[in-house]
Structure 1
Amino acid sequence: MTRAEVTELVLCAKRLKGLTWKEIHEKVSVSTSPVVITAAMLGQMRLEPNEAAKAAELLDLPKEAEILLTEVPYRGSLPQVPPTDPLIYRFYELVQVYGTTWKELIQEEFGDGIMSAIDFDMTLERQPDQKGDRVKLAMSGKFLGYKRY
C-alpha cells in the first residue's frame, strides 16, 4: 500500500460516512490543529500513533493505512506545475504576484532569512460579508535568519 492509496481510502471513507474535515479533526485530535490533521489525512503531514489509531477506527482503515499515516510523508507534491485546480492555482497566482513583495517586506522587517513552513501555524475562517463571504487565512511562521559561516 502506498501513501497515495491511503489518501484515496481516507477520501472514500469520508465521502461514504458523510463526514466533514472538522468532524474528523474533532474525533482524531483536540490538541493538534485542524489544518495539520487535514493535511496529514491528505498525505502532507504525519499523525501521532494515537491519532492514527483514532482515524483508522473512525474511517475503517486497515492496519497498514494506520501505520502509513504515522510515517514521514513526501511533502509538497502537486500533480503538475502550475496547478490546474482553480482554487490551488489562486495560491500559485498569489505567490507569482505578491511573492517578491512578501520577500521584500519580510526581509526589510526581519533581515536576511525566511519564514519557516515547519515551525508554522495557519488558521482559516469564514468572514461574512454582504458582497459575498470572504476566506481569511492567517499564517504565522518562525523567522529563520541565514547564518554566515
Structure 2
Amino acid sequence: MVEKVPMTPGGFAKLQEELRWRQQEERPRIIEAISEARAHGDLSENAEYHAAKEAQSHNEGRITELEDFVARAEIIDLSKMSGSKIKFGATVKLIDEDTDEEKTYQIVGDQEADVKSGRISISSPIARALIGKEAGESIEVNAPGGSKAYEILEVTWG
C-alpha cells in the first residue's frame, strides 16, 4: 500500500512548481551545459563536463523524488479544519515556560516544513508532542538541545 504524504495546498503548489522548473527549465539548461562541455574535447580531464553531469544526476534524482511526493500527496484543505484539539494544519501559539518567549508554528507536511517561517513538520518532536492537545495544556519536548517545556496559548486554523 502506498503511504500518503499530508500537505497543505500551498505546499503542494510549491512542489509542483519546483518539479515544473526542474523538468522544463533546469533539465534543458544542464543538457546544454553538457553539450558545450563535450565540445571542448577530452572528457577525462574536463571539469565542466563532470560538473554538468553531477548537476544532471542531482536534478534527475530530485525530479524522481518530487514526482513521488506529488503522486502520494494528500492535500488537506485547511479551510475545513476546526476544533480545539491540535492536528495537522493547526497554527499553534506557544510560550516557552523557561524563557517566556512566545513562538507560533503551523504543523505542515515534511516536505513543506521551514522552521524560519514558522512551519514545522508533522513528524518533528514538537509537533508530535502537540498533536491531540488543546490551549491551556503544557507539553514537554525532548529536543536535541535538551528537554523544553511549553504552554499552549492558542490554536487557530487556516
TM-score higher than 0.5: no
From the two aligned structures, give the one with the greater strand fraction. Answer: 2
The alignment's TM-score, normalised by the length of structure 2, stands at: 0.20
**Over alpha carbons, which structure has the higher Rg?**
2
TM-score of the superposed pair, with normalisation by structure 1: 0.21
Q: Which has the higher contact order (CA 8 A, sep 6+)?
A: 2
